[in-house]
């Protein structure tokens, strides 16, 4: 349950999530995109009404499934979960830059963009324009931060 606490504390999440090797996927659509990218959940948090929507993915996973009322989930996370479900996911290993750019024709470089919304929007645009890779400098906002993922509509998992 610790993965889901204090999700509205940006400073805490920005440090804790990368350090602990996790990110949070929010909504059944994003969870499906993460699943399609081959990543495995650590656990799920949802209200009963969304269990059926993710039944196929949940049935493939041997991980904890936390189910709570909307009020209980809101108390735990710090926000109203109106997008269905959350999944705590293990971060994928980063591919070496040389591997990413070796055969790439279109590469997007995100340099020092510190706003999670902007990073997500850039990934979404990169996917729309058929970019082969996105390189992110160390001072950029985390593309696997919950808001970045949501704004990108999960395309952070589509474009390496």
Q: Tell whether 7 and 82 lie within a shared domain.
A: yes
Inter-residue contact 87 to 37 (CB < 8 Å)? no
| CATH assignment of the domain containing 149 | 3.40.1280.10
Q: pTM (2 decimals)?
A: 0.82
Q: Tell whether 84 and 121 lie within a shared domain.
A: no
The residues with which 88 forms a beta bridge, in sequence order, are: 24, 43
Provide the number of structural domains found in the chain. 2
Q: Tell whether 137 and 63 lie within a shared domain.
A: no
Q: Tell whether 74 and 139 lie within a shared domain.
A: no
Q: What is the pLDDT of residues 39-76, one digit of tens each?
A: 989 999 988 888 888 889 988 888 999 998 888 888 87
| CATH assignment of the domain containing 34 | 3.30.1330.30
Q: Tell whether 49 and 117 lie within a shared domain.
A: no
Containing structural domain, residue 24: 2-90
Q: What is the pLDDT of residues 110-147, one digit of tens each?
A: 999 999 999 999 999 999 999 999 999 999 999 998 88
Q: Tell whether 86 and 19 lie within a shared domain.
A: yes
Domain boundary among 37, 60, 90: 90
Q: Tell whether 15 and 48 lie within a shared domain.
A: yes
């Amino acid at each position: 349950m610790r993965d889901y606490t204090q999700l509205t504390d940006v400073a805490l999440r920005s440090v804790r999530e990368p350090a602990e090797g996790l990110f949070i996927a929010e909504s059944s659509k994003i969870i499906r995109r993460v699943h399609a990218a081959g990543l495995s959940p650590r656990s799920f948090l949802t209200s009963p009404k969304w269990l059926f929507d993710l039944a196929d993915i949940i049935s493939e996973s041997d991980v904890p499934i936390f189910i709570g009322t909307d009020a209980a989930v809101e108390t735990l996370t710090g926000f109203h979960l109106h997008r269905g479900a959350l999944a705590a996911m293990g971060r994928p290993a980063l591919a070496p830059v040389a591997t990413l750019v070796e055969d790439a024709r279109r590469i997007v470089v995100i340099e020092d963009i510190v706003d999670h919304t902007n990073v997500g929007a850039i990934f979404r645009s990169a996917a729309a324009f058929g970019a082969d890779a996105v390189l992110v400098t160390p001072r950029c906002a985390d593309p696997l931060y919950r808001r970045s993922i949501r704004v990108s509509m999960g395309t952070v998992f589509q474009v390496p």
